[in-house]
Amino acid sequence: MKIVLLEGSPNKNGSSNMLAEQFRKGAEEAGHSVQVIDAAHADIHPCIGCIHCGYEGPCVQKDDVNKIRQTILAADMMVFVTPLYYYGMSAQLKTLIDRFCAFNTSIQRKHMKSALLTVAWNNDTWTFEALESHYDTLVRYLNLENQGRVLGKGCGTPEMTRRSVYLQAAYDLGRKLQD
């Protein structure tokens, strides 16, 4: 299976990307190919709502999304990777997802698999409620098949994440994937 990791953290060595790396390792050991898209550092402009794309492209903006689009549509699975920022995904990942507008139908037709990898400083029981709701809506709208999620509570720093159970959980999620 071809998997694309959509990393949304501006901190390249941060906790959410640590989860992504462990997921990648597990998935590759299980025989899957994994490609990483660093959405936080790519040249991605916000959707301007012009609807020139007619919801299936091409987009009038000339940035990295055209190449990212091709990568996503060549994949069988998307993994959304983000730190929790004010109870939602990072603006960097959200900006990329907003640009899905220009190829929603193509994503929907593929019936891709998906997963969510995320971390947060705090560990309240309600910490991830809003993000999980948003992810569940994306899964429903884009006809994705959720394969799981790793919700890293209490992972505010890389050191906190290293001491947590969540790196192993991310590895295990990648390792158990079936085609």
Separation in Å, CA 4 to CA 8, 81, 113, 176: 13, 10, 10, 16
Point out the residues of the chain with pLDDT beneath 50: none
Gyration radius of the chain over CA positions: 15
> What's CA 141's distance to the chain center, in Å?
15
Which residue's entry shows tokens 């990791």? 5
Q: What is the DSSP string of 127-174?
A: TTHHHHHHHHHHHHHTT-EEEEEEEETT-SSHHHHHTSSHHHHHHHHH
Q: What is the pLDDT of residue 58?
A: 87
Indicate the domain borders of the chain. 2-175
Q: What is the pLDDT of residue 179?
A: 83
Q: What is the pLDDT of residue 57?
A: 80
Does pTM top 0.75 for this prediction? Answer: yes
The amino acid present at 129, given as its one-letter code, is: E
Q: What separation, in Å, do the N-terminal and C-terminal C-alpha atoms of the chain show?
A: 6
Q: What is the pLDDT of residue 55?
A: 86
Q: What is the pLDDT of residue 10?
A: 94
What CATH class does 2-175 carry?
Answer: alpha beta
8 A C-beta contact, residue 142 and residue 107: yes
The model's pLDDT over 155-178, given as tens digits with 9 standing for 90+, comes to: 999 999 999 999 999 999 999 999
> What's CA 54's distance to the chain center, in Å?
24
Q: What is the pLDDT of residue 23?
A: 98
Q: What is the DSSP string of 5-37?
A: EEE--S-TTSHHHHHHHHHHHHHHHTT-EEEEE
